[in-house]
């Protein structure tokens, strides 16, 4: 039972490079989310998708784009990485938007030099 799968687990980028973080869930959940986790900051919502075909900005969307490719997959793209985007990124899903019970992936540790 995989749950939420994120790739890659680790990534090092140079400033200005682009990359896409992949996320897939096998729980038939409608809603998916991208969070970033920084020391002393807790989890902050970047973007979310209430259902297939919709995406919305969260608390810290600047510098990111997302794509809800289908019901299973929700990707996060950094078009021009900056050192301020060094963080641990988590994808999560829930059966409905606003559910208090989120299922998280194991995270992607991203360093931007």
Partner 1 sequence: GESVGLHLPTLSVQEGDNSIINCAYSNSASDYFIWYKQESGKGPQFIIDIRSNMDKRQGQRVTVLLNKTVKHLSLQIAATQPGDSAVYFCAERSQGNLIFGKGTKLSVKP
Q: Does 75 participate in binding partner 1 (rule CB under 8 A)?
A: no
CA dist 7 and 26 (Å) reads 15
Cβ(25)–Cβ(32) below 8 Å: yes
Closer residue to partner 1 in complex, CB, 19/97: 97
Q: Does 42 participate in binding partner 1 (rule CB under 8 A)?
A: yes
Q: Does 43 participate in binding partner 1 (rule CB under 8 A)?
A: yes
**Stretch binding partner 1 (CB under 8 A), from 12-20, 40-48, 63-71, 77-85:** 40-48
Residues 13, 102, 110, 112: which binds partner 1 (CB under 8 A)?
102
Torsion angle of the four alpha carbons 21, 66, 55, 45, in this order, in degrees rounded to the nearest 10: 60
Q: Does 107 participate in binding partner 1 (rule CB under 8 A)?
A: yes
Which residues in 48-60 are b (16+ Cβ under 10 Å) and which e?
Answer: bbbeeeebeebeb
Q: Does 106 participate in binding partner 1 (rule CB under 8 A)?
A: yes
Tokens 């050192």 found at? 83
Using CB under 8 A, list all residues that contact partner 1. Answer: 4, 40-45, 90, 92, 97-98, 100-107
């Amino acid at each position: 039972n995989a749950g939420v799968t994120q790739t890659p687990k680790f990534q090092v980028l140079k400033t200005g490079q682009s990359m896409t973080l992949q996320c897939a869930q096998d729980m038939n959940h409608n809603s998916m989310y991208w969070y970033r986790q920084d020391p002393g900051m807790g989890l902050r919502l970047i973007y979310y998708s209430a259902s297939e075909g919709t995406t919305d900005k969260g608390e810290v969307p600047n510098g990111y784009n997302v794509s809800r490719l289908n019901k299973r997959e929700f990707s996060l793209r950094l078009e021009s990485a900056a050192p301020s985007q060094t963080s641990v990124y988590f994808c999560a899903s829930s059966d409905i938007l606003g559910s208090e019970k989120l299922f998280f992936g194991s995270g992607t540790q991203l360093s931007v030099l």
